Amino acid sequence: MIRVAYGLRSDGQVVGGPKWISRQAFDIQAKVDDSEAAKMRGMTDEQRDHEWNAMLRSLLADQFGLRMQNEERTLPVYALVVAKSGAKLTKSPVGETAHGIPVQTAPRSGDTVMTATTVAMSELAVHLSRMSESDNRLVVDRTGLEGTYDFQLK
């Protein structure tokens, strides 16, 4: 929730806090009043995301006493790069609508399969940053690849 509220891309960007912060889970029920919901319906997606995040930050401060301190730190990251042999991705057809990145685990082999349709490399980097396999490291896009691609990763 902290990552989302503050627009962070990786849980590894949240440093410090009480010991329970990564061990304890909570069920939170909250409701936006009707006038606020009506105001948000007239917003752009970006404005609405900004408003939701502000409300979430307020909830975290009010209900959990969360106080944040922004600072710059050097943290380890992973870089998404093109192999020396070149990219082996299929460029998405022009005009195709993004489908996202569903991740599934194969029932027999236990392999994790990521199937992506019409995904930009910057989106893939964000997605990889949020996966447990990234060890809470931020994944940065250093591919230089423009456009969107269709691919499958195992």
What does the radius of gyration of the chain's CA atoms come to, in whole angstroms?
19
pLDDT of residue 107 exceeding 60: no
Written as one string, the DSSP assignment of 27-43 is -------HHHHHHHHTS
User: pLDDT value at position 82?
Assistant: 94
User: pLDDT value at position 101?
Assistant: 65
**Contact between residue 101 and residue 133 where contact means Cβ atoms under 8 Å apart:** no
Global pTM? 0.63
pLDDT level of residue 130 (50, 70, 90 thresholds): confident
User: pLDDT value at position 46?
Assistant: 87
User: pLDDT value at position 83?
Assistant: 92
Alpha-carbon span 71 to 99, nearest angstrom: 35
Overall average pLDDT of the 103-115 stretch = 64
Alpha-carbon span 153 to 108, nearest angstrom: 17
Which of 144, 152, 148 is CA-nearest to residue 97? 148
Residues 6+ positions from 19 with CB-CB distance below 8 Å: none
**Contact between residue 126 and residue 10 where contact means Cβ atoms under 8 Å apart:** no
pLDDT of residue 95 exceeding 70: no
pLDDT of residue 151 exceeding 90: no
Per-residue pLDDT tens digits for 63-84: 989 888 888 888 889 999 999 9
- Count CB-CB contacts under 10 A for residue 115: 16
User: pLDDT value at position 79?
Assistant: 95
- 34-41 vs 45-64: helix crossing angle, rounded to 10: 150
Overall average pLDDT of the 13-29 stretch = 84
